[in-house]
Structure 1
């Protein structure tokens, strides 16, 4: 089943927590803030990537939007080695210069970037995220090899934003000539109904980062 899934990373979902007891004896949990090379949180994250790789998803998108360019590059090098060792596909998110430096020919970039700079000439597999049926044709004409369509279900990542639903996903799939992956609230239980719309699979973040 995981072979139909693309794993999307988010380091905040697998970071450890320190447990402290206050004067009243109650436990309080505080996130360990550091996410830097060599820290416990960094090591824990790489261990989680190894667990994800062992599940054999379709690919791994290294998302991590809140990291600096230098920190993202450092992380990408280490994740690339884990993926290479397991024969797993790694997709760099939003950073074509880093992808090129890593020798990675798969990249996921926002529609806004695809519109402004186009598809990098050296890339073999380019994906983008669409949020309307009208964007499907435009994304493909701009060179997208696959699409993330969402958000399909309500998700904690976008609190308060209603899911667009399976009918929206079906319309996107009917319009698209490239593989479509559902994103937003996707999990293993929902995958069968996602596949029934004609989608190639789903993208899962929380399920993979907390497995």
Structure 2
């Protein structure tokens, strides 16, 4: 089954918690709480509320970067940058996702025990305005090489999601597309059924 993961962006949602609840209620496959601008204390306070929302809908949740906070909150899943992962910060977690930006990183992440990887950015996106997208050929090469789930990230829409699926991805990660959507369930449904 083609999966859809929500990567959060607080600034993109008028009411973050209401929007996240709508996303979880719509059947998102996982939430990655990625809020890079917060201090660890602020992230921990946010994570406590997000854990409750995800728990209400049985939505798997990965915390991001702050491994000590994740352990203190008994969160068994973490998502890390490739650098943090190779530094051993994923130890002790049941599920470890890793962001990769090259085939070599993907191979290394798999060999070192990553549960899944996110590969990007695939299409043009406002998050990476000055960087050219890596495209579906890049994604296809990774999907054909590694044997763990690969999720495409960067500029994913219901219109281009079929290209990502054809390239072999297990699913996609969406940020602002879901956090800003009036009806996130429509987007999730279209992508899952592409």
Same-fold status (TM-score > 0.5): yes
1:73 aligned to 2:51? no
Deviation digits for residues 155-204 of structure 1 (CA, Å, limit 9, x no counterpart)? 00011211110011000101111000000101222211111111000100
- The 1-side partners of 2:74 and 2:55 are apart by 12
| Residues 119 and 143, structure 1, Cα contact 8 Å, conserved in 2 | no
Cα distance in 2 for partners of 1:47, 1:118 equals: 31
Q: How many residues align?
A: 181
Give unmatched runs, 5+ long, in structure 1.
Answer: 16-43
User: Is 1:140–2:110 an aligned residue pair?
Assistant: yes
State the match for 2:64 in structure 1.
Answer: 93
2:7 is matched with: 8
1:200 equivalent to 2:170? Answer yes
User: What is the TM-score when the length of structure 2 is the normalising length?
Assistant: 0.90
Q: CA RMSD in A?
A: 1.3
Question: Which of 148, 160, 173 in structure 1 is aligned with 2:130?
Answer: 160
**How many Å apart are 1:118 and its aligned residue?**
4.6
Higher relative contact order (CA 8 A, sep 6+): 2
Give per-residue Cα distances to partners, 1:19-71, cap 9 Å, x unaligned: xxxxxxxxxxxxxxxxxxxxxxxxx2111110111121110000011001111
Given the alignment of the two structures, is residue 173 of structure 1 paired with residue 143 of structure 2, yes or no? yes
Highest CA radius of gyration, 1 or 2?
Answer: 1
The 10-residue stretch of structure 1 (191-200 or 72-81) with the greater mean CA deviation from structure 2: 191-200
Per-residue deviation, 1:136:
1.4
Paired with 2:180 and 2:122, the residues of 1 have a C-alpha distance of 21
Residue matched to 1:48:
19
**Residue ranges of structure 2 left out of the alignment (5+ in a row):** 182-194
Deviation sequence 1:113-138 (CA, Å, 0-9, x none): 111125312x1110101111111111
* Offset at residue 97 of structure 1 (A): 0.9
Runs of 4+ in structure 1 off by over 2 angstroms are none
Contact 1:131 1:149 in 2 (8 A): yes
- Give the Cα separation in 2 of the matches to 1:88 and 1:205: 16
TM-score of the superposed pair, with normalisation by structure 1: 0.83
Give 1:103's aligned residue.
74
